[in-house]
Amino acid sequence: MSSGAPAAASSSHDGGDTWKEITRNEGLPKGVVGKIGVTVSGANHDRVWAIVEAEEGGVFRSDDGGATWHRTNEERNLRQRAWYYTHIHADPKDPETVYVLNTGFYRSWTVDGPSRRSGRRTATTTVCGLPRTIPSA
């Protein structure tokens, strides 16, 4: 891992007067997390994206302001040079779109509709071509 000190992510819901660590919230990796990049959607302030360097890291999405997370992508090439390039940016107008900058420039895209297998509604977020399907909230 590239980080020397223990990494942590915190959030504030009162303009920065108080902060709460969210690094160990449900859905984020356990153990050493390394560098973390975080971005909040300008279109939906409850939508938070993170890129986490950890061995079990990747791109994570929260739809409740960081209380819980789902990994949407685990591709290593999105975090392989984390000590230089851990950058993630939410699209300011589309809460479904996120951009990751690492060894390349990557854009997510989302398909929302009934799953062919179960008939349940799913949201699939894809970054760099490999989808991972997660249940919709």
> What pTM value is reported for the model?
0.75
Do 57 and 34 form a contact (C-beta atoms < 8 A)?
yes
For 82-103, the pLDDT digits (tens) are 666 678 889 899 888 888 877 7
Distance, in Å, from the CA atom of 24 to the CA atom of 59, rounded to the nearest integer, reads 15
Check residue 19 and give its pLDDT: 87
Q: 61, 78, 56, 69: which is closest to 26 by C-alpha?
A: 69
Residues 11-37 pLDDT 10s: 888 888 988 888 889 999 998 888 888
